[in-house]
Amino acid sequence: MDNTDKVKDPWAARWNDRYRAEEFAYGIAPNNYLKEQLSKFAPCHILFAAEGEGRNAVFAAQQGWTVSAFDISEEGKAKALRLAEQLHVTIDYQIGELSLLNYTPEQFDAIALIYAHFPAANKSSYHQQLSRLLKKGGIIIFEAFSKKHIEYVTANEKVGGPKDIYSLFSIAEIEADFLEYEIIELAEKEIELSEGLYHNGTGSVIRFTGRKKTEHR
């Protein structure tokens, strides 16, 4: 996908519009679940999918992780790199569809998916593509809105999240997408969000931390 195609892509245009403002759409503080989970593992090489403005990637770099990230939004990348520079850390941030990037099988020790709501038709395929990039014994850290979240965002648009139930997640979907994983945590939870402009209020999320099995069973 060249730059002309990116401009024409309505999905990329939507996120560029959101990230173009000076203020950070979801703030600059890391997601609470990611922060909690990262503290449990020794820093190594982590990939952040659909990383947007970089708050989580930059936090991980501050904690000593070697950080790679990708998104389809040029505006998101620009803000992420500015934030990294301000906080004196380095992240490798690529732009493009996952299948077109130069990541290699089993390149990463950990992968973070924090509100990585890919289009409904592609979300399971993206999870499987990402899983191939993770080393055996590697860790997935995931938080995103659950299907029950439809009730919450209907009542309060300020909490954010997709209004299409098929773009939301269930525990069964996560189990199916990550069959080759030892489940460390998998739960649907009601939480309070206070993340920048677009995640504010009570929501329902799926939280998942899993370790890629070293042997198929």
pTM of the model: 0.93
Query: What pLDDT, on a 0 to 100 scale, did the predictor assign at position 158?
Result: 97
Query: What pLDDT, on a 0 to 100 scale, did the predictor assign at position 3?
Result: 42
Distances (CA, A) of 107 to 29, 58, 68, 154, 155: 27, 20, 11, 40, 42
Q: With contact defined as beta carbons under 8 Å apart, do 11 and 33 qualify? A: no
CA distance 24 to 62: 19
- CA 30 to chain centroid, in Å, comes to 12
Instruction: Tell me the average confidence (pLDDT) per consecutive run of 10 residues in the chain, 217 residues long.
Output: 50 90 95 98 98 98 98 97 98 95 98 94 95 98 98 97 95 97 98 96 98 81
Query: What pLDDT, on a 0 to 100 scale, did the predictor assign at position 7?
Result: 43
Query: What pLDDT, on a 0 to 100 scale, did the predictor assign at position 5?
Result: 41
Q: Domains of the chain, with CATH numbers? A: 3-212 (3.40.50.150)
Query: What pLDDT, on a 0 to 100 scale, did the predictor assign at position 119?
Result: 86
Q: In DSSP terms, which residues pair with 71 in a beta bridge?
A: 95
